[in-house]
Structure 1
Amino acid sequence: MKLLSYQIKGYPGPARMGFMHDENIVDLQEAWKRLQRSELNDELANAADRLVPADPATFFLNGHHVIEQVKDVKKYAEANHVKDISFNRADVDLSTPVPSPGKVICVGKNYAAHAAEMDSSVPDYPVLFAKFANALIGPEELIEKPAFVQKLDYEAELTAVIGKEATHVNRDEALDYIAGYTIGNDMSARDLQKRTPQWLQGKTLDRSTPVGPWVVTSDEVHDAGNLAVRSYVNGELRQSATTEQLIFDIPFLIEFISSLMTLKPGDLIMTGTPNGVGMGMNPPQFVEDDDIVTVEIDNIGRMENKVTEMKK
């Protein structure tokens, strides 16, 4: 399933969980209620707020449990008339599908060619840093560039969503802890990032990091270790690689990170970016006001965000 967060255009109100069905967006909780009532499970239908939260901030905190609850909803939608709870893609705005993760863990220098373009050696251990939820925006929202930032850069990244609590996980079992995958664009203020040894200040500016357009459940991503990753600026291809080139693959990352800290449902792991970032070009080419940054990952999707300079 492609699980997403949506709002109907022109109707203010909280975002709700939905899923893609034939290029339309279906309200997830309402479809789940109908499925339960069609099977005479009125008690389950009436408990929808607890079992299948409509609030995206809550949904993924339930992890694998809630995803298992809704797997049959897609089949139900395919077999039944759900037009009254289905919306044309053009009529909705997509928000970031996981708006309030407990942790956003990022991996730096995880492609050898990217480490080289940053004049760095290949690390012996994963280079970890953090973002926070204040940085996250949706797949169609504006990337906010503070006026004092001169070197804003893009970084296309496969992003894993944790589905159940993980501590001291063995790499052979690591993929069982993933709820699904999405796209992250680790926008980085290089001038802030590089002015101290610690990168955090350049990595978690308000409303700077697009994530989306949806979370593709792990059962539909058959080989996350071999997905093509691309980025474009104003239509010009900048990055092109596959996740097969990761120095530390996803099972290793989950094993390594879960040995340091407990991962919880809804946590995000941004797995690193390939070469082709603006800072690595000669001369460097950073994004500016009105630039369009597009990120694509095969089997996941595509998102496109415009950069806007904030005057204050």
Structure 2
Amino acid sequence: MKLIGLEAPDRTIVVANRLSATEARVIAELREFWTDAAAYIVSAGDSDSSADGDVVAIADYRVVPPVLPEARVICIGLNYRAHHAEGSFKEEAFPEHPTLFARWTRSLSVDGAEIPVPANERGLDWEGEIMAYLGASLTDANEDEAQAAIVGYSTFNDVTSRIAQKLTSQWTLGKNGDGSGPLGPIVPATEVGSLAEGLRVQTRVNGETVQDGNTADIVYSPASTLALISRTFTLRPGDLLATGTPDGVGYTREPEWLLQPGDTVEVEVDRLGTLKNRITARSN
């Protein structure tokens, strides 16, 4: 099952598995969905219950991430061993705790959306990832509680403005370009299983494979990271955690390889599907 968001001027809804190229069945209004995402996902998977939802014409809506505007988007940096070994921190040991940074929800987009190159950048870098979605609050949680709170995962591309990222010691600016965080549909966690089992994560640029990693290479698990975060601030239903990228990013290559207007970038993850976006020049 795959969940997407649809937005009209008067409402934003979550739908599951389009009925056809033109129609989809509503699970819930977006805000209502995140009051009990786990229950809505179970209901959507029940053929008898899901048949009760309204059917809407997709053409009347715009596809959007099924994410609350106030959701926190927390990201793990340097989480794959092979990516750590290729980058600027390769001479340093893995720290005890993960490197964390944040995105704003306004930076998120969807499969098929265009991603503009900011005017001061030579291009954009790709980072194929997996995004985890929380369906319950977490305060001072242990790892088992944190894992149980994850209701779904999606493919994610943490597209990065490298010049902006390196302007300061904090990564925020380089990680929040317009539309630079495309997300695939949410797949229920029960259908995905544990990332520790090993999901293949691939990124392709214009059809050429540039990343080919596996989540078995992850150092900091989603559950341990969420538990750590929850000891400082309470995580809420609808908050997100990006789990890091494998090796093969563009800035570490010689010569450097960055996405240019006209390029197409795809991220494919086992059990989650493929996310595809086109790079464009920034319009005024």
Shared fold (TM-score, shorter chain, > 0.5): yes
- Between the aligned partners of 1:109 and 1:284, the Cα distance in structure 2 is 19
Deviation at 1:244, TM superposition (A): 1.0
- Between the aligned partners of 1:193 and 1:110, the Cα distance in structure 2 is 18
Structure 1 pair 245–157 and aligned structure 2 pair: CA distance change class (3 A): same
Deviation at 1:81, TM superposition (A): 10
* SS state at 2:187 partner: strand
Moved more, 142-151 or 262-271: 142-151
1:2 aligns to 2:34 (yes or no): no
1:107 aligns to 2:76 (yes or no): yes
1:1-312 to structure 2, matched below 5 A, reads 1-6=1-6, 14-20=11-17, 26-29=24-27, 52=28, 54=29, 56=30, 58-62=31-35, 65-76=36-47, 85=55, 94-98=63-67, 100-120=69-89, 121-124=92-95, 125-212=97-184, 214-225=185-196, 226-312=198-284
Structure 1 pair 237–128 and aligned structure 2 pair: CA distance change class (3 A): same
Deviation at 1:74, TM superposition (A): 3.3
> Please, which runs of 5 or more residues in structure 1 have no aligned partner?
30-51
1:213-252 deviations in Å (ceiling 9; x for gaps): x111112112232211111111110111111110111221
1:74-111 deviations in Å (ceiling 9; x for gaps): 332699699x92768x9976322225252110111111
Structure 1 pair 176–81 and aligned structure 2 pair: CA distance change class (3 A): closer
TM-score (normalised: structure 1)? 0.81
- Between the aligned partners of 1:199 and 1:180, the Cα distance in structure 2 is 26
TM-score (normalised: structure 2)? 0.88
Query: Partner letter of residue 94 of structure 1?
Result: V
* SS state at 1:285 partner: coil
Structure 1 pair 170–111 and aligned structure 2 pair: CA distance change class (3 A): same
- Between the aligned partners of 1:152 and 1:287, the Cα distance in structure 2 is 5
- Between the aligned partners of 2:221 and 2:20, the Cα distance in structure 1 is 32
Deviation at 1:172, TM superposition (A): 2.7
Structure exhibiting the larger radius of gyration computed from Cα positions: 1
Moved more, 101-110 or 66-75: 66-75
1:57-85 deviations in Å (ceiling 9; x for gaps): x24531xx243145234332699699x92
Query: Partner letter of residue 5 of structure 2?
Result: S
- Between the aligned partners of 2:61 and 2:205, the Cα distance in structure 1 is 25
Give the conservation status (yes or no) of the 8 Å contact 2:82–2:217: no
Moved more, 143-152 or 18-27: 18-27
1:250-279 deviations in Å (ceiling 9; x for gaps): 221122121222111111100100000111
Deviation at 1:211, TM superposition (A): 1.4
Query: Partner letter of residue 5 of structure 1?
Result: G
- How many residue pairs match? The answer is 279
Q: Which has the higher helix share?
A: 1
Deviation at 1:13, TM superposition (A): 6.6
Give the conservation status (yes or no) of the 8 Å contact 1:171–1:251: yes
Alignment RMSD, CA only? 2.6
* SS state at 2:43 partner: helix
* SS state at 2:261 partner: coil
| % identical aligned pairs | 33
Deviation at 1:173, TM superposition (A): 2.7
Give the conservation status (yes or no) of the 8 Å contact 1:159–1:268: yes
* SS state at 1:165 partner: coil
1:144-172 deviations in Å (ceiling 9; x for gaps): 22222224111111110011100111113
